[in-house]
């Protein structure tokens, strides 16, 4: 069953037994509620964190399973590179070049169909390519770009779902296609012709094994939405009278997808040497990323599990709504979910008419997006306006979980590192972060990229938060992609698209909205309050620059974190009284710095270097900096519960004494 298991996959139980420390200073273990297991994905688990879920994700990297993976020939060098970049292990892989080849070449009829399909693709794409060459020869290649881009979009629709999906992917790949073509291909994300109702209803009956009228008392006569792989209807359940959304896969799509993937991979293998030499990107790797994601989206049982994972991650969060999935009414080609009765984010007037506080709603939306990205490592890969709704009680609702992306614990930490390096203006380390995240091949000389990164960041951040937006940064980054051998990994192209799309939604609802004015406070709050040792380490890096303590930076972090708390607490969804989640969210109105104070005290007590730096900070320029200390205290005095902190310190005192004695004995032994 397991096609690929990496030896670096370890179990969560192994991690929990390892010491938790910063700079070698042991930190106290928190209440398990604060460190509840995050649902990472259905088919991938972090290389440093594997979540067991009723046995479904429990992995053991035994020698036998590794031998089977190697002898089965299911992995390719490109796929192995992808797994190394992602830092994940794949317990069940639907895609591999060998699987695709075996599926396509299983019969003589399939081979004949493949040849005919290849001729059709070559003929149609060849005609299009010839027209581009003719434009270049007669010198009109620039003036006909809008027409040719529109022609390409229509051609991809004509070639079928694989090419529509490829067009959707290209719409987010500035490392592969130019911007004017990207803008035209974006239309494919929302505007795809539906297939007939009779065909869709027949698929539902075949998949569920019952006639429609036995399951649904009512079903819409028109599709609610149509996409490259399927379309959606609204219906009412006979059993309960509840309204549901039915997602139905396009007919006979799987053999078409496999056949096209085989042709894509064959072409990529043929052109790989040229693409690496001329473009600095691995064509096989790009096709493998695309194929893996496409086959995952084809299986609606995976999407059902994705929904379960999102439900688990946002459990107890009263600001986010995830639809329930009816697994007993779902299969690999049909998915039945709770109907979301919300307001589309494309209708700002309706949102305002419903009495929803736009600022509060936008804060909730940005915070939910950042939690997916930096906290859970499992995020919605296609949050366009049709997939995000405003609920009338102020919550944000997500639908369509076929396209999700996974970031490993390592990737999340590198992203946070990149934020820290940007704050500290350490551009050489930012360039190294690009290599660690897979944007640059290992061993690439990053020195030419450093000045370009510095120019992009200073040009954008130098304007201040009021003028900073992701679209302008992305536009400048796209130019960087053309000039250097940068490949945007699929998961990060989804991150970029996700952030750009959500920023666009924010602009629709509030034209003067500043994304970073919400994002920065969220990051500040996490840095200050999250007890994760990795984030504690990043907080130290932010507060100390070149060995000097940054008082102003600490004050800014506290102000921003309190701003995030204030905006979140103003959302109507948090004003629910006596609700099931109200108790767990009562403390949202205050910034809880209890754990941060305790961990900081431990660091000062045990870490000589930190202690020396703080003393220098307090006595810098031959004067006591008591005023700065008082300013910081004034910012947090309303948020600190002195009796509660004192009680926790007393309870933790035996552990502190034990750790102090261990630290002292270690230093004595090391001196010898």
The catalytic residues are 382
Measured CA to CA in angstroms, residue 427 lies from 82, 353, 576, 623 at distances of: 26, 46, 45, 33
Half-sphere exposure in the Cβ direction for 185 (13 Å, CA)? 23
Gap between the Cα atoms of 57 and 38, Å rounded: 12
β-sheet bridge partners, residue 25: 22
Contact 65, 5 (CB under 8 A): yes
Question: What is the number of other CB atoms lying within 10 angstroms of the CB of residue 559?
Answer: 12
Contact 602, 27 (CB under 8 A): yes
Gap between the Cα atoms of 219 and 438, Å rounded: 46
Measured CA to CA in angstroms, residue 184 lies from 121, 148, 190, 286, 508 at distances of: 21, 10, 12, 21, 20
Contact 292, 93 (CB under 8 A): yes
- Report residue 341: phi and psi, to 5°: -95, 75
Gap between the Cα atoms of 25 and 425, Å rounded: 27
Contacts of 643 (CB under 8 A, 6+ apart): none
For residue 640, give the DSSP letter: -
Alpha helices in 589-625 (DSSP H): 594-606, 608-618
Longest dimension (CA), the chain: 87
Nearest residue to 348 (alpha-carbon basis) of 496, 213, 505: 505
Can you give the C-alpha Rg of the chain in angstroms?
27
DSSP letters of 495-517? HHHHHHHHHHHHHHH-TT--HHH
Q: Which two tokens stand for residue 161?
A: 């779902």
Alpha helices in 234-393 (DSSP H): 253-274, 283-298, 300-313, 348-353, 358-370
Gap between the Cα atoms of 126 and 651, Å rounded: 75
β-sheet bridge partners, residue 396: 320, 390
Residues, the chain: 672
Contact 645, 597 (CB under 8 A): yes
Q: For Cα atoms 564, 527, 509, give the angle at the middle one, nearest 5 degrees.
A: 30
What three-state secondary structure class fits 324? coil
Nearest residue to 566 (alpha-carbon basis) of 639, 507, 633, 508: 639
Gap between the Cα atoms of 620 and 605, Å rounded: 21
Question: Residue 515's Cα: distance from chain center in Å?
Answer: 17
- Report residue 595: phi and psi, to 5°: -65, -35
Nearest residue to 382 (alpha-carbon basis) of 189, 662, 671, 173: 189
Gap between the Cα atoms of 558 and 632, Å rounded: 8
């Amino acid at each position: 069953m397991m096609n690929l298991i990496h030896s670096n996959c370890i179990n969560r139980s192994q991690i929990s037994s390892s010491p938790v420390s910063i700079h070698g200073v042991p930190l106290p273990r928190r209440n398990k509620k604060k460190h509840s297991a995050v649902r990472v994905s259905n088919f991938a688990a972090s290389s440093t964190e594997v979540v067991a879920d009723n046995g479904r994700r429990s992995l053991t990297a035994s020698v036998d399973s590794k031998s089977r993976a190697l002898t089965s020939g299911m992995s390719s060098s490109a796929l192995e590179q992808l797994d190394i970049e992602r830092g994940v292990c794949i317990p069940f892989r639907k895609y591999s070049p060998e699987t695709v080849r075996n599926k396509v070449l299983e019969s003589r009829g399939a081979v004949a169909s493949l040849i005919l399909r290849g001729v059709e693709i070559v003929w149609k794409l060849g005609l299009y390519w010839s027209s581009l060459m003719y434009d270049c020869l007669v010198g009109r290649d620039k003036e006909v770009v809008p027409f040719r881009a529109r022609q390409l979009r229509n051609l991809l629709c004509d070639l079928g779902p694989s090419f529509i999906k490829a067009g959707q992917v290209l719409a987010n790949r500035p490392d592969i296609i130019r911007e004017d073509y990207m803008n035209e291909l974006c239309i494919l994300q929302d505007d795809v012709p539906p297939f007939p109702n009779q065909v869709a209803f027949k698929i539902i009956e075949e998949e569920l094994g019952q006639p429609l009228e036995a399951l649904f008392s009512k079903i819409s006569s028109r599709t609610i939405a149509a996409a490259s792989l399927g379309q959606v209807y609204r219906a009412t359940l006979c059993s309960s009278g509840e309204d549901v959304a039915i997602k139905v896969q396009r007919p006979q799509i799987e053999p078409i997808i496999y056949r096209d993937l085989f042709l894509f991979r064959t072409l990529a293998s043929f052109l790989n040497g040229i693409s690496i030499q001329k473009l600095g990107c691995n064509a096989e790797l790009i096709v493998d990323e695309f194929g893996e994601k496409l086959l995952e989206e084809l299986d609606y049982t995976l999407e059902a599990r994705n929904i379960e994972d999102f439900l688990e991650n946002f459990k107890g969060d009263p600001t986010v709504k995830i639809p329930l999935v009816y697994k007993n009414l779902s299969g690999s080609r049909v998915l039945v979910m709770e109907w979301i009765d919300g307001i589309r984010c494309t209708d700002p007037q309706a949102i305002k008419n419903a009495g929803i506080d736009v600022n509060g709603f936008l804060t909730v939306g940005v915070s939910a997006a950042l939690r997916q990205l930096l906290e859970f490592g499992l995020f919605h890969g296609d949050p366009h306006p049709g997939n995000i709704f405003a609920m009338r009680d102020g919550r944000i609702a997500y639908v369509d979980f076929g396209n999700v992306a996974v970031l490993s614990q390592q990737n999340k930490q590198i992203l946070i590192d990149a934020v820290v390096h940007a704050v500290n203006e350490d551009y050489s380390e930012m360039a190294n972060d690009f290599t660690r995240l897979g944007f640059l091949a290992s061993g690439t000389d990053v020195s030419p990229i450093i000045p370009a990164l510095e120019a992009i960041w200073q040009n954008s951040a130098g304007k201040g938060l009021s003028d900073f937006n992701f679209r302008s940064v992305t536009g400048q980054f796209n130019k960087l992609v053309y000039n250097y051998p940068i490949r945007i990994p699929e998961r990060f192209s989804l991150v970029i698209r996700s952030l750009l799309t959500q920023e666009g939604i924010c602009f629709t609802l509030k034209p003067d909205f500043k994304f970073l004015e919400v994002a920065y406070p969220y990051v500040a709050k996490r840095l200050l309050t999250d007890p994760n040792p990795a984030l504690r380490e990043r907080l130290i890096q932010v507060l100390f620059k070149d060995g000097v303590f940054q008082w102003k930076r600490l004050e800014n972090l506290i102000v921003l974190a309190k701003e995030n708390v204030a905006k979140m607490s103003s959302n109507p969804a948090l004003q629910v009284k006596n609700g099931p989640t109200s108790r767990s969210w009562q403390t949202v109105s205050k910034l809880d710095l209890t754990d941060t104070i305790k961990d900081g005290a431990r660091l000062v007590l045990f870490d000589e270097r930190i202690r020396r730096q703080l003393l220098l900070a307090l006595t810098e320029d031959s004067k006591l900096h008591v005023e700065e200390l008082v300013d910081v205290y004034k910012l947090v005095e309303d948020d600190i519960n002195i009796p509660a902190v004192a009680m926790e310190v007393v309870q933790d005192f035996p552990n502190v004494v034990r750790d102090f004695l261990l630290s002292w004995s270690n230093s004595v032994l090391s001196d010898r």
